[in-house]
């Protein structure tokens, strides 16, 4: 059962990020301090089941979350410390299409708490299942307290991601203390490398210098940077980023928190 509550415009987009984001740890650019630990967790057979990813918007928490879920479901991860890309589970294009993955945002789970009462409390006892909750800070306090009682007995993989650690119930967060990861935004160079990989996938031509300006403009926010790539592929003439196009989109301001228009994605 996959409880995917992403917006329809994201799911139906021909350039859907979920189909193009990294599928394994080795494809993730940067975050070496986290990937090393998660590789060892996979090799140890996921004896730990509770994971918390904490960091700013656009740092790559959702990508790490999906790669961790793939490794958990992979038949060979205990041998290589990563998803293999070859087994039946790994060949599923979108991790959220997996029967054994239930993915929510905090706000979405608030609005559909009956799912937790009806299904979540049952699924948490199944070793093959994964429950992923993004934007966990939006889950209200009473629901967080309910989860505190339930996650103690979890047998499934349970991952939360948040931008605001201080909005998570202290007792609940203590359950995740052994596997709490601080996710940082990448360097300019790493953000450029990430954008180049998406440029290759969608057929966009842009120079490293141009991508570096985009990265600095958005403060190395990977969400904004990747949105730029997708938007430019749709709007730039012949899918080539020219100086005029770049000036039109990011102007001359050194930093902006305003996202490019038309494409809304999550990282």
Last residue of a domain, one of 129, 152, 182: 182
Kindly state the DSSP code that residue 185 receives in the 8-state scheme. P
Residues 130 and 59 in one domain: yes
Q: How many domains does the chain have?
A: 2
Q: Are residues 59 and 28 in the same domain?
A: yes
Same domain membership, residue 165 and residue 215: no
Whether residue 50 is found in the same domain as residue 177:
yes
Residue 256 counted as domain residue: no
140 and 124 in a common domain: yes
**Beta strands at 157-162 and 50-54: parallel, antiparallel or unpaired:** parallel
Structural domain includes residue 128: yes
pLDDT in tens, the chain (267 residues): 444 443 333 333 344 566 778 999 999 999 999 999 999 999 999 988 999 999 999 999 999 999 999 999 999 999 999 999 999 888 877 666 666 889 999 999 999 999 999 999 889 988 889 999 999 999 999 999 999 988 888 899 999 999 999 999 999 999 998 899 999 999 999 999 999 999 999 999 999 999 999 999 999 999 999 999 999 998 999 999 999 999 988 885 555 545 554 444 445
Tell me, yes or no, whether 27 and 143 share the same domain. Answer: yes
At residue 7's C-alpha, the angle toward residues 137 and 251, to 5°, is 85
Looking at the structure, tell me whether residues 45 and 89 fall in a common domain. yes
Domain that holds residue 234: 188-250
Q: pTM of the prediction?
A: 0.85
Compute CA distances 191 → 29, 63, 78, 208, 255, whole Å: 8, 14, 30, 10, 15
Query: Residue 113 maps to which CATH number?
Result: 3.40.50.300
């Amino acid at each position: 059962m996959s409880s995917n509550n992403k917006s329809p415009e994201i799911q139906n987009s021909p350039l859907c990020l979920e189909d193009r984001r990294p599928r394994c740890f080795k494809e993730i650019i940067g975050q070496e301090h986290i990937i090393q630990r998660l590789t060892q967790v996979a090799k140890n057979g996921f004896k730990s089941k509770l994971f918390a990813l904490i960091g700013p918007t656009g740092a790559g928490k959702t990508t790490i979350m999906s790669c961790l879920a793939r490794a958990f479901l992979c038949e060979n991860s205990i041998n290589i410390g990563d998803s293999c890309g070859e087994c039946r589970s790994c060949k599923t294009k979108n991790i959220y299409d997996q029967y054994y993955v239930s993915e929510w945002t905090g706000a979405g789970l608030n609005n559909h708490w009956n799912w937790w009462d009806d299904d979540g409390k049952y699924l948490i006892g199944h070793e093959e299942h994964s429950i992923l909750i993004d934007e966990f800070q939006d889950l209200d306090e009473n629901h967080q307290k309910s989860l505190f009682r339930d996650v103690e007995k979890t047998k499934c993989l349970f991952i939360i991601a948040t931008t605001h650690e201080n909005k998570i119930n202290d007792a609940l967060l203590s359950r995740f203390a052994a596997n709490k990861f601080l996710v940082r935004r990448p360097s300019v160079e790493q953000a450029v490398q990430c954008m180049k990989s998406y440029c290759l996938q969608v057929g966009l031509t842009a120079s490293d210098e141009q991508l570096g300006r985009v990265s600095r403009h958005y403060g190395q926010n990977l969400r904004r940077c990747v949105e730029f790539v997708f938007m430019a592929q749709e709007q730039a003439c012949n899918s080539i980023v020219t100086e005029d196009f770049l000036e039109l989109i990011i102007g001359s301001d050194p930093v902006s928190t305003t996202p490019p228009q038309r494409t809304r994605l999550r990282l």
